[in-house]
Structure 1
């Protein structure tokens, strides 16, 4: 029997012991045990779990077929603990499954509705874990993680990214395979965990191990020979110990050490050999299942299993399995390829009849060569759909690729390719383009072609290649007629979205949209077209109120399926509403979206609502609220398909917020977190906003030439797309200030006049007020009149920060012309408003001007609710409504620990406890 004592693993155990001590103190972490097959990873993991002692442990081991079962390891990890709970503890009002953890509990227990969105499942699994650690710290252990399914590894990676939030120690044991052979999720997990590398045993270690196995007192020469042959691999040393005295050690090599043990199988009977081959295929199995695959009766299989245990091949557990993966691999390798395939196919048919046997059966088909079996194709497609429903698109991709390789009947191939390309799209796999292009060449049905074209267009748009989708969508649209109903409008809307983003195609898009006239927004296709009509109204010189009207019609009740399915469409409609000056309405709609995201656990909707509300708050001047929203969007962007768009928009907005708050260094960091080549890439249309933000940041640092360079590129991109509207992306106001600073006075005045003329046509209070202010500040004459009009336009609007800027500019101009009394009044109002909005730079400027005008710039005290940060206030408001900390955390996509920190700070600032929050907020209101 193998030695249970670890040899030369003291340093590894000490590293793990320190991590366990930190866990007992409430600090989470991750360890990754890495070593070759046979290095003793499982034994080390068992020792670490034994050292956990008083800590709760959830343990799962992946098998080679586990990689094909979505969330298979997750189900093993949490299955036992969930099934052991009584119904009230699980599903009661205060139960573990209450709230955001529901989807994860349903997944583990094979119940409930599908979620589809991978981010929903990752978020739900996090909250399941949060509920479990309410009873104390937890150790999560995953053995043989190199065989784990990608969805489970993604959860481990997600948990690692939030390691500081939960008292959880994640211990993962995996083979130290080449980095390029690791799955993306495993590679990220290894890279970001604390590594524990299992080194080969020294000669002394080999001697010690052999002594434990009954070979004490061996010679130095024999110990050295054993170390040389085995490479210090503990399992090979154990296997070699069984051969000492029966073979010449130096005649062996590591590969043949295992082969020599497996050769014992040939000395056994045909029943033992058949059972060994069957278990090698199944990995591990009940006696009944293995017997059926081996063609034996249960009684015959039981006798054969005992003989295989006596021969040192099978483990002693009741479930049939090999003593070590190396032995299983050797038996499988000794089985002919045709026999292996036949066994895998027979295993698939047998397991498909078992409860929850769909994914295990599909896993066996993935291991076999295709034989054009329609049954296999259908089972693989069914398993792929189930994987997509569980939020595991990569597993669906693997299954559908195997179905294509079976292959299916020729008539069914195009439809299967559409399914595969769509799954690849969900998984963020660039291969979706090639797959959908191939599908498009074979599709003849107009409806299927339309769906293929929509998927292909989405794939192109993720990479920014809008021009490639135009001909594809045109061809699909040409084959659709009135009998295809709203699908025609949906395809046309996708075509318009592409044409808007392709230089030279904007007029085509406008003509298509104009041909539809006034749409009611009664169908998904109509609503999507309305969104694009709003885009055109915003991007051209049409009055901005028109864009707001169209956006409202597109939004409707805000709960239409295509808006929920597409965070981009959801966000775009609300952005246009905000551009029209209805900042409060847009923010309220985004708040509804955030509530929806909390109910569904959808990170994409949460990120979309956050970045959209961030812009609405920014344009209204609510800087702290805006900064919080942009930071939240950036924090979750990596879980959003096509998250680059979120990062570009949120980074641009955050930079503007930080500049207004006087945090120049942070603003520089915000724009520099996105590489410049991404911002200038013409395939990323939203990079336009980041170019403008770069210009603002460079101007603030005094680099006005650099600012103008960024702004000229922004203007060039806008001109290429025929979108040069200040409500879409106002760059001229920033450029005027840099031209003025460089002494290029006439250029500044000309550009300011152009901006004012355009703003007059758009007739939006914010942009018009800003244009009037900029023009007034650089005007040779009539500057005060322009500034006074700017204040008039902005007073009563929702653009409070623009109003503060214009009042300060007017007050300064009045002071310079000797009208100090009138100037002081404007400066006081502007200063107080700027301070209330958190615009520190503007507040300081107003204070300086007020002093020059002979006024007192008294200190503005901040206390009570006004002293709370935006993040603190959001937590306080939910706590005052009666929500518990965990419920607040789920609503705001925060950790419970973060909620506790915000509340602690709020209690100190407000000088009340939780019971006094509601009264304090009411009094402030």
Structure 2
């Protein structure tokens, strides 16, 4: 029960029932109170005889007194003591009670509310706007003086559209807090909008920050007026220091690098300008950047490096901090030092100890990451699914979408391709993908990884064409994006681009001090790529480097991939033992697609040494898993002849010598498009317009009989026009 409902029933209702002594006990018993509002379950024949026109005529008859009271009842529209009505009208309470009694006996009113909504609405429509506004304003003042709940008072201030009380702004902010706590976000936005119009510059900036956060829960869009006002306040230096970190995070989310840099500069200035809390606030922001946007932190020359000395996560939480700062420190520990029992316990304490709200949302996401990177995928998925349901129950589409995207990324780790695609697609459909900001990168990464493994290369290419905020590649999410894009390039034979993606991912992870296998096993990616390139020695070297990094085959589930890749570069007689070990690791690792892949390789090895029965058994199990995962390329390979090891490329139907029909300009545009360049980047490099690039690509697609950039990659790779870069 809300505060308004409790107040209505405990104070207003009891006093009203004492006032209306003409209502009989039978009449009272025929009424019910539902959600703080009165309704009639008894005989409503009196009210049914009225039409809207006759009711308005009756209320207007015999002067303005009856109409004046009726207008107030329609405006208030809640059970209210007659003394409050009298005070609002500045009239004698006895007279007001008499008029209300008359309206009650006439069947129009029950418990100071109109019995019928159509009549009440008609009275409101017929009441002049200035009269309604004045009444709402007066009601707000009387209710506030009587100690009514903030939300009830604020509703009348919003209806009045203005307020001339000195307490208006503070009350509206308090009411917004109550509404947010009750998940009544639309009402909270209304309260804050009015408060922002009434507040002075300093307080307005705080209110605009709160508005941005509250609106973000419903729709994280930059097109709203509140976002523009927030940017204006930032540029004018009006955002108070305590609000700047939240504004900076909001801007980084949307890829607004220039404005985010300005916010961070203001944090630096506050820390250097004698603000007692400035250094601590700056240090906390740098810790948050270190685990979420390390590329941004790296670009801040004046920013001190966050303390990465090893105070294990279990003890770090003993210090009282804000949830997001505590979570950032926890994740920095995991990314720097690897998984530990203390880190897992601290992450679960955070998930159990914090209710999902605007202040804890980011911290709970980071706690999920800590569990995922610590190889606690089952625990992380259970918590994530619970948070998806909570976000849905609380009508928070943004939260629901982001948790669903996180769950999709976990589905990729589980090898469940169907679920990964469904969850990520649903999340993007729930919130306009342009408004998902940095998390668009994670959604695209999940979709590209899943559709590539499913053999749906054209879909994967379409997802890669999606424009992402520049901040994605400066973020931790960008590592997962590079990993997914690299596997797509490798699947379609664009090995040069795959090498660039995998190497770039590894370089960032080492530079950002987050080189742990639970995030991205990029050394395994390079090993698989070198196998595709026919360089088994390099493949073995990188797979062995991954095992060295994790400290042995029994230390992490990704060791199974390393062992499988080492087996592929080993003599046939050594492969079976290695692959059986790989299958054993995959079997306990939770990734069904990797288990199917290892079983397929084991089936090939058995086949090569003449163990036909064992080969068939491994093949059957691998086929069943591949079908369950939705890994169509693997299923097709398992259905073909044994021993096949060549990479599967996209099958395209282009006419022979079709490339000869391209002009030099078209060919250059095609090469750059196949290399992953965006249209505006191609235009800049070739000194032509974006429109010209689009026209060239249209002609290229028509001449080559292809539909997407992914097709160009395969066509050019097959004709040696996109040679693989020599690896040194």
| TM-score, length-scaled by structure 2 | 0.59
Offset of residue 365 of structure 1 = 1.3
* Aligned positions of 1:31-180 closer than 5 A: 108=35
Distance 1:573 1:790 in 2: 34
* Aligned positions of 1:16-415 closer than 5 A: 108=35, 269=63, 271-272=65-66, 274-275=68-69, 278=72, 281-282=75-76, 288=82, 289-298=84-93, 300-301=95-96, 316-318=108-110, 319=112, 323=119, 325=121, 328-333=124-129, 337=130, 341-352=133-144, 358-368=150-160, 370=162, 373-407=165-199, 412-413=203-204, 415=206
Deviations 1:162-192 (A, max 9, x none): xxxxxxxxxxxxxxxxxxxxxxxxxxxxxxx
Q: Is the 8 A contact 1:527 1:555 kept in 2?
A: no
Distance 2:303 2:493 in 1: 37
Q: Paired residue for 2:549, among 762, 782, 789?
A: 762
Deviations 1:882-918 (A, max 9, x none): xxxxxxxxxxxxxxxxxxxxxxxxxxxxxxxxxxxxx
Distance 2:312 2:101 in 1: 79
Offset of residue 386 of structure 1 = 1.1
* Aligned positions of 1:598-613 closer than 5 A: none
Q: Is the 8 A contact 2:428 2:443 kept in 1?
A: no
1:528 matched to 2:320? no
Q: Partner residue of 1:881?
A: none
Alignment CA distance shift 1:304-1:689 (3 Å): same
Q: Is the 8 A contact 2:526 2:542 kept in 1?
A: no
1:808 matched to 2:600? yes
Distance 1:277 1:387 in 2: 27
Question: Match of 1:514, SS?
Answer: coil
Offset of residue 394 of structure 1 = 2.8
Offset of residue 387 of structure 1 = 0.5
Distance 1:371 1:553 in 2: 50
Distance 2:270 2:345 in 1: 29
Q: Is the 8 A contact 1:812 1:827 kept in 2?
A: no
Alignment CA distance shift 1:737-1:695 (3 Å): same
Alignment CA distance shift 1:710-1:393 (3 Å): farther
1:460 matched to 2:259? no
* Aligned positions of 1:422-501 closer than 5 A: 422-428=213-219, 430=222, 433-434=227-228, 449-450=241-242, 452-465=243-256, 468-470=259-261, 472-473=263-264, 475-476=266-267, 479=270, 490-497=284-291, 499-501=293-295
Deviations 1:118-141 (A, max 9, x none): xxxxxxxxxxxxxxxxxxxxxxxx
Question: Match of 1:511, SS?
Answer: coil
Q: Paired residue for 1:512, among 284, 301, 306?
A: 306
Offset of residue 649 of structure 1 = 4.3
Q: Is the 8 A contact 2:180 2:188 kept in 1?
A: yes
* Aligned positions of 1:698-737 closer than 5 A: 703-704=492-493, 728-729=519-520
Question: Match of 1:457, SS?
Answer: helix
Alignment CA distance shift 1:435-1:809 (3 Å): same
Q: Is the 8 A contact 1:610 1:633 kept in 2?
A: yes
Q: Partner residue of 1:682?
A: 470
Distance 1:569 1:559 in 2: 9
Distance 2:302 2:348 in 1: 27
Q: Is the 8 A contact 1:615 1:653 kept in 2?
A: yes
Offset of residue 388 of structure 1 = 1.0
Distance 1:799 1:756 in 2: 18
Offset of residue 380 of structure 1 = 1.5
Distance 1:589 1:427 in 2: 25
Distance 1:400 1:574 in 2: 32
Alignment CA distance shift 1:794-1:620 (3 Å): farther
1:587 matched to 2:378? yes
Question: Match of 1:374, SS?
Answer: coil
Q: Is the 8 A contact 1:366 1:402 kept in 2?
A: yes
Structural RMSD (CA): 5.8
Offset of residue 352 of structure 1 = 3.4
Distance 1:791 1:551 in 2: 32
Alignment CA distance shift 1:475-1:388 (3 Å): same
Distance 2:440 2:469 in 1: 14
Distance 2:349 2:95 in 1: 67
Question: Match of 1:387, SS?
Answer: helix
* Aligned positions of 1:552-567 closer than 5 A: 552=344, 555=347, 557-559=349-351, 561=353, 566-567=360-361
Distance 1:262 1:735 in 2: 84
Distance 1:762 1:612 in 2: 26
Distance 1:397 1:646 in 2: 24
Q: Partner residue of 2:691?
A: none
Distance 1:551 1:326 in 2: 62
Q: Is the 8 A contact 1:415 1:439 kept in 2?
A: no
Deviations 1:293-320 (A, max 9, x none): 333335545777899999xxx9934446
Unaligned runs of 5+ in 2: 10-33, 38-48, 645-728
Question: Match of 2:597, SS?
Answer: helix
Distance 1:761 1:511 in 2: 28
Distance 2:537 2:485 in 1: 23
Deviations 1:471-493 (A, max 9, x none): 53464366468879976654332
